[in-house]
Amino acid sequence: MKVSVCRSCAPQTRFVDFLRDGLQGVEVESVDCMSGCTRAQTVAFRESGKVAYLFGDLTRDDLAELQNFISLYAASEDGTFADARVLGSLRSKAIARIPG
């Protein structure tokens, strides 16, 4: 699984390092603009053959929800969920779900 963290518009300059420390077992990379500037901090999750997710308005307070999302996403065959409520507060922070 790859996690991409936008570095272009993010006011939280060390957010990528925070996620690298907090999200064990995934590759976390810093990337240029992902066009989510109005909802910074923007982070994308993707894995080959699965739906990709783009979230915005993330803060350090979302770490537990992101860890939960990673577990659910890894366990999902195609990256989709029968009920979006399992995403908790991330449900309202979703910007896009991109077909795999």
Q: What six digits make up the tokens of 15? A: 């957010």
pLDDT (tens place) for every residue of the chain, 100 residues total: 999 999 887 655 689 999 999 999 999 999 988 998 899 899 999 999 999 999 999 999 999 999 999 999 999 999 999 998 999 999 999 999 999 8
Q: Which residues contact 8 (CB under 8 A, 6 or more apart)?
A: 32, 33, 34, 37
Q: Which CATH architecture has domain 2-98?
A: 3-Layer(aba) Sandwich (3.40)
